[in-house]
Amino acid sequence: MSSSKPSKPNSKATALPIQHADIEWKNNVPYSKYFDDVYYSTTNGYQESEYNFQQQSSLKSRWQNHASQQTFTIIETGFGSGLNFFATWKNWRNTEKKPKHLYFISTELYPLKLQHIQHAINDWPELTPFLNEFMDQYPPPTQGFHQRQFSADNLTLLLLFGDATERLTEMTHPADTWFLDGFNPKKNPDLWSSALFQQINRLSKADTNLATYTSSIEVQRKLAAINFDVEKRPGYGKKREMLVATRNLKQPPNSNPNTSNANSTNTTSNTSNTNTNTNTNNARPDHTLSQNSPVKGASIPTAQADKKPWFNIQSPVKSTEKSAVIIGAGIAGMCCAASLAQRGWNVTVLEKNNDCAKEGSGNPWGALYTRFNTYPSPVNQFFQSSFNFSVGYMNALHKQAPLENFWNPCGLLQCAFSDKEEEQLRALAKSGFWPKSLLSYKTPTQASAIAGVKIDRPGLWIPSSGLVSPRGLCQFILKQHPNIQLRCNQHVATLTPIKKKQQDYWQLLDSDSKLISESQIVIIANAHAAHELNPTRYLPVSQIRGQLSYFSCTETSKQLKTIVSYEGYILPSDRLTNNGHSHLLGATFHPKDNHLKLRKKDHQQNLLQLSRVSEDLAEQLGKNNASESLAGRVGFRCQSPDYLPMVGPIPVLDQFIADYAGLRVGKLKKDYPPGTYYPGLYCNVAHGSKGLISAPISAEIITSYIENSPQPLPEKLLHSVHPARFIIRKLKRREY
Ligand SMILES: Cc1cc2nc3c(=O)[nH]c(=O)nc-3n(C[C@H](O)[C@H](O)[C@H](O)COP(=O)(O)OP(=O)(O)OC[C@H]3O[C@@H](n4cnc5c(N)ncnc54)[C@H](O)[C@@H]3O)c2cc1C
Ligand SMILES: C[S@@+](CC[C@H](N)C(=O)[O-])C[C@H]1O[C@@H](n2cnc3c(N)ncnc32)[C@H](O)[C@@H]1O
């Protein structure tokens, strides 16, 4: 019955992968061998979920009472089979009077395998339509935030894989309602630790409520200590009692759940994580929390806010009209437009060219690609999260419109183009850090079988990757959303702040100072032209030239079935790329090079790069194509100095320099004020070589800033792409 203990996941550099749950079926109910407990009642899990969580938290009446809110947020501990999620989704769909958008945020340390979720939920046919929509959106078992959209229902699921307390420290958005469902506290005391209740305290509002199936005295005590009024109610089935609780902020906030009752003995474990559980099944996994969980009162908004006040925007502009203007109709601008339109905004996109996606996003096709590794630097974490997000995003969009030609999940082989690279890729696959479903190591013979052509080098097979047509995606977004208006041949030259009915607005003017548009909310998504506009003039963006080559195919090369990447990439020739007659080979990378025309030597370089992983293919394509007459495309990437995009509100440079002058003289811990930002102004630029993966998630980040809704990424990653980061770095280096 007991199973071997998985190693401890933690978020440090030596982090190990998330393990799937180890379960058995008892009376057709999943039973956890790690925790010696069932996931839900053996009487009827769905009825139990309805009773404990939906009814006892008064969810439907709370939705009605909060109908004027833009968003409603439920946070759950323990996603498990998703039963609570599916039940909530069904109720949400069937409730008329409710807030505009529901966020269901759920933590999970040991995700169930998808087939187990299917097995469990298929017991209730009324939930299968929801299960079917969810299935191809279930994320791979990797630590971190995984956001998934169910747009038709205005519902967002944010799965936080990893330990609940640890993940919640990375959240900034408070819950309207909590579902606490993490197994019996006696069997899983690590989850129900004081540190978790500190996070519940930090992430609760004045009227937040909570439901939990447990009636544990210890849980009652911890809830009371963080100012929740606790009430016992009859339990479901064989269970005598359960708890509901409502925030009561009449008492002064008490940040420490252990200090409310000096006489009570704390029988659960705490953050020191000594294994004090009473569970006799010693197979239960040990998951040490990192010790950096903040211990803060409810008034402290975020885990990092007090350390980095400059990233805090004090009062985001609320657009009374729910309309926004976006400058630039590349993939960054169009994904932002889609994200806002989806939430009921009217969006105007201003583009200087005569159509969308004519510049950086004008390539016919590109690859969804990032390098996976084990070192959790912000760059790695941001792009790896973006990759997973984009795969889910493309699959979901494509499901809505299967005949549209912007996505082909054909997989990608990342081939080792040098011996050193080969060693790194082999070590990465061996580390087990990434699940096999995401990437696996292949010998040249295996790689050749997958690719359909001869591959000389080993590499990683990433089956979820695929081809994206940025232009096709932009056109599809326009077609899909009638509330997006694209206005072409509109070159925005100036942004002028004005007051209208005491509200902040921006006027967008052309080079003759003629008014093009005005709006409370403006998003600058014009890539390296950001430095032409006053508020973003100082952003350190640079242009990097890239040349693509279109090589006519041969009979053999036509067999190529997947993307093959190395220092560059070759895309399969089937009818997706360039009408099926040629392969797209990319791409050169030349900073400080403004040459607009195709260059023969760049075509040769693209072919040379291919020859390092498939000599045969390169030779055939070379023979079939004279580089003098090759077609191709020149484009320019917009790059930041740290390779990450710039996504977020736009700081007022002079005010930043004045407010944070202390940083120039090493005063890092001074009591600094929050940052000063241009009201209603955001930027979304510098997507470098990876815009196809970074644009969709960046659009969600911008929307969350604008709507003040839960962010799709942990706070530290938001800071890593925050436009203010360069000012702060320069101040610390005394460059301002
Ligand atoms: C050769 C090459 C190959 C690439 N391959 C890949 C790949 O395989 N995978 C991948 O993920 N990424 C790839 N990229 C990168 C990716 O294409 C970019 O990151 C992405 O297209 C950037 O999108 P964007 O919307 O930020 O910029 P853009 O597409 O350049 O859009 C900016 C828009 O703003 C408009 N504009 C500018 N100023 C104004 C103004 N003042 N008023 C109105 N409009 C304005 C421009 O006309 C333009 O349409 C590649 C890039 C190149 C160049
Ligand atoms: C009772 S089950 C949840 C049932 C679930 N709500 C459902 O609808 O199926 C408890 C879940 O909590 C998860 N869990 C246990 N300890 C955890 C921790 N420290 N952090 C996050 N999740 C945890 C378990 O893996 C399990 O999936």
Question: Is the minimum distance from the CB of 328 to ligand 1 under 6 angstroms?
Answer: yes
Question: How many residues are there in the chain?
Answer: 736
Task: Give me ligand 1 centre to Cα 227, in Å.
Answer: 50
Same domain flag for 92 and 198: yes
Protein residue closest via CA to atom 21 of ligand 1? 361
- pLDDT at res. 316: 74
DSSP of 443-512: -HHHHHHHHSS---S-EEEETT--EE-HHHHHHHHHHH-TTEEEE-S----EEEEEEETTEEEEEEE-TT
Going across the sheet that includes 204-212, the strands are: 144-150, 155-161, 101-108, 71-77, 175-180, 204-212, 241-247, 228-234
Same domain flag for 565 and 647: no
- pLDDT at res. 3: 56
* Cβ-Cβ contacts under 8 Å for 42 (sequence gap 6 or more): 26, 27, 29, 237
Instruction: Report whether pLDDT(686) > 50.
Output: yes
Protein residue closest via CA to atom 16 of ligand 1? 691
Are 175 and 75 in contact by the 8 Å Cβ rule? The answer is: yes
Residue 16 lies in a domain: no
Eight-state DSSP code of residue 570: E
| 692-721 tens-digit pLDDT | 999 999 999 999 999 999 999 999 999 999
Nearest to 453 by CA among 296, 332, 564, 599: 564
Spell out the alpha helix ranges (H) of 16-101.
45-49, 59-65, 83-93
For residues 380-397, give the mean pLDDT: 94
Protein residue closest via CA to atom 15 of ligand 1? 689
Protein residue closest via CA to atom 11 of ligand 2? 78
Question: Is the minimum distance from the CB of 528 to ligand 1 under 6 angstroms?
Answer: no
For residues 309-314, give the mean pLDDT: 86
Same domain flag for 523 and 549: no
Residues 17 and 4: their CA atoms lie apart, in Å, by 16
Same domain flag for 459 and 565: yes
Residues 244 and 370: their CA atoms lie apart, in Å, by 45
For residues 557-583, give the mean pLDDT: 85
| 139-162 tens-digit pLDDT | 999 999 999 999 999 999 999 999
Residue where the block lists tokens 């009818």: 575
- pLDDT at res. 251: 55
Residues 257 and 41: their CA atoms lie apart, in Å, by 29
- pLDDT at res. 489: 98
- Least confident window among 101-105, 121-125, 291-295, 602-606: 291-295
Same domain flag for 486 and 613: no
Same domain flag for 199 and 145: yes
Residues 461 and 440: their CA atoms lie apart, in Å, by 5
Question: Is the minimum distance from the CB of 78 to ligand 2 under 6 angstroms?
Answer: yes
Residue where the block lists tokens 């995984």: 146
Same domain flag for 645 and 630: no
Residue 254 lies in a domain: no
- Provide the domain count of the chain: 3
- pLDDT at res. 136: 84
Structural domain of residue 195, as residue ranges? 23-247
> Which ligand 1 atom is at minimum distance from the Cα of 333?
25
Question: Is the minimum distance from the CB of 45 to ligand 2 under 6 angstroms?
Answer: no
Could you write out the three-class secondary structure of 141-175? CCCEEEEEEEHHHCEEEEEEECCHHHHHCCCCCCE
Are 559 and 391 in contact by the 8 Å Cβ rule? The answer is: no
Question: Is the minimum distance from the CB of 632 to ligand 1 under 6 angstroms?
Answer: no
Task: Give me ligand 2 centre to Cα 109, in Å.
Answer: 7
Instruction: Report whether pLDDT(60) > 80.
Output: yes
Question: Is the minimum distance from the CB of 358 to ligand 1 under 6 angstroms?
Answer: yes
Residue 270 lies in a domain: no
Question: Is the minimum distance from the CB of 107 to ligand 2 under 6 angstroms?
Answer: yes
Residue 108 lies in a domain: yes
Instruction: Report whether pLDDT(78) > 50.
Output: yes
* Averaged confidence pLDDT in the chain: 89
Nearest to 335 by CA among 423, 406, 276, 385: 406
Residue 273 lies in a domain: no
Instruction: Report whether pLDDT(8) > 50.
Output: no
- pLDDT at res. 279: 34
Spell out the alpha helix ranges (H) of 30-152.
45-49, 59-65, 83-93, 114-121, 128-135
Confidence of residue 415 (pLDDT cuts 50, 70, 90): very high
Residues 389 and 436: their CA atoms lie apart, in Å, by 18
Q: What are residue 366's phi and psi, to 5 degrees? A: -145, 180
Using a 10 angstrom Cβ sphere, with 0-12 exposed, 13-18 middle and 19 or more buried, the burial of residue 479 is exposed
Spell out the alpha helix ranges (H) of 363-451.
378-400, 419-431, 444-451
Confidence of residue 669 (pLDDT cuts 50, 70, 90): confident
Residue 406 lies in a domain: no
- Least confident window among 82-91, 388-397, 665-674: 665-674
Rounded to 5, what percent of the chain is helix, strand, coil?
30, 25, 45
- pLDDT at res. 629: 80
Protein residue closest via CA to atom 2 of ligand 2? 39
Confidence of residue 689 (pLDDT cuts 50, 70, 90): very high
Same domain flag for 130 and 243: yes
Q: What are residue 603's phi and psi, to 5 degrees? A: -60, -45
Distances (CA, A) of 736 to 166, 269, 315, 658: 36, 49, 27, 10
Q: What percent of the chain has pLDDT over 90?
A: 81
State both tokens at 467.
């081809």
Same domain flag for 549 and 645: no
For residues 545-560, give the mean pLDDT: 94
* Cβ-Cβ contacts under 8 Å for 390 (sequence gap 6 or more): 368, 468, 692, 693, 696, 697
Same domain flag for 567 and 524: no
Residues 714 and 694: their CA atoms lie apart, in Å, by 15
Protein residue closest via CA to atom 5 of ligand 1? 366
Q: Give the CATH number of the domain where residue 126 resides.
A: 3.40.50.150
Q: What percent of the chain has pLDDT over 70?
A: 89
Residue 54 lies in a domain: yes
> Which ligand 2 atom is at minimum distance from the Cα of 287?
19
Task: Give me ligand 1 centre to Cα 690, in Å.
Answer: 10
Domain final residue pick, 229, 247, 265: 247
Same domain flag for 243 and 212: yes
Question: Is the minimum distance from the CB of 164 to ligand 2 under 6 angstroms?
Answer: yes
- Least confident window among 199-203, 235-239, 356-360: 235-239
- pLDDT at res. 6: 58
Q: Which ligand is nearest to the CA of 546?
A: 1
| 356-384 tens-digit pLDDT | 999 999 999 999 999 998 888 899 999 99
Question: Is the minimum distance from the CB of 410 to ligand 2 under 6 angstroms?
Answer: no
- Least confident window among 17-26, 352-361, 524-533: 17-26
Going across the sheet that includes 467-468, the strands are: 366-367, 467-468, 407-408
Residue 596 lies in a domain: yes
- pLDDT at res. 250: 65
> Which ligand 1 atom is at minimum distance from the Cα of 637?
53
Protein residue closest via CA to atom 19 of ligand 1? 691
Question: Is the minimum distance from the CB of 109 to ligand 2 under 6 angstroms?
Answer: yes
- pLDDT at res. 16: 58
Domain final residue pick, 612, 637, 662: 637
> Which ligand 1 atom is at minimum distance from the Cα of 688?
19
Q: Which ligand is nearest to the CA of 124?
A: 2
Q: Give buried/exposed letters for 367-403 (b at 16+ CB in 10 A, else e).
A: bbbbbbbbebeebebbbbbbbbbbbbbbbbbbeeeee
Task: Give me ligand 2 centre to Cα 41, in Å.
Answer: 14
DSSP of 169-195: TT--SPEEEEEE-SS-TTT-TTTTSHH
- Least confident window among 197-201, 397-401, 655-659: 397-401
Domain final residue pick, 223, 247, 271: 247
Are 560 and 447 in contact by the 8 Å Cβ rule? The answer is: no
Question: Is the minimum distance from the CB of 408 to ligand 2 under 6 angstroms?
Answer: no
Task: Give me ligand 1 centre to Cα 475, in Å.
Answer: 14
- pLDDT at res. 304: 57
| 578-629 tens-digit pLDDT | 566 789 999 999 999 999 999 999 999 999 999 999 999 999 999 888 877 8
Task: Give me ligand 2 centre to Cα 32, in Å.
Answer: 10
Task: Give me ligand 2 centre to Cα 15, in Å.
Answer: 21
Same domain flag for 443 and 355: no
Q: Give the CATH number of the domain where residue 527 resides.
A: 3.50.50.60
Are 405 and 576 in contact by the 8 Å Cβ rule? The answer is: yes
Confidence of residue 301 (pLDDT cuts 50, 70, 90): very low
Name the residue of 547, 689, 690, 702 whose CB sits within 8 Å of the most ligand 1 atoms, as the mutation to test its pocket: 689
| 631-655 tens-digit pLDDT | 999 999 999 999 999 999 999 999 9
Residue 713: CB atoms within 10 A of its CB come to: 26
Confidence of residue 559 (pLDDT cuts 50, 70, 90): very high
Q: Give the CATH number of the domain where residue 584 resides.
A: 3.30.9.10
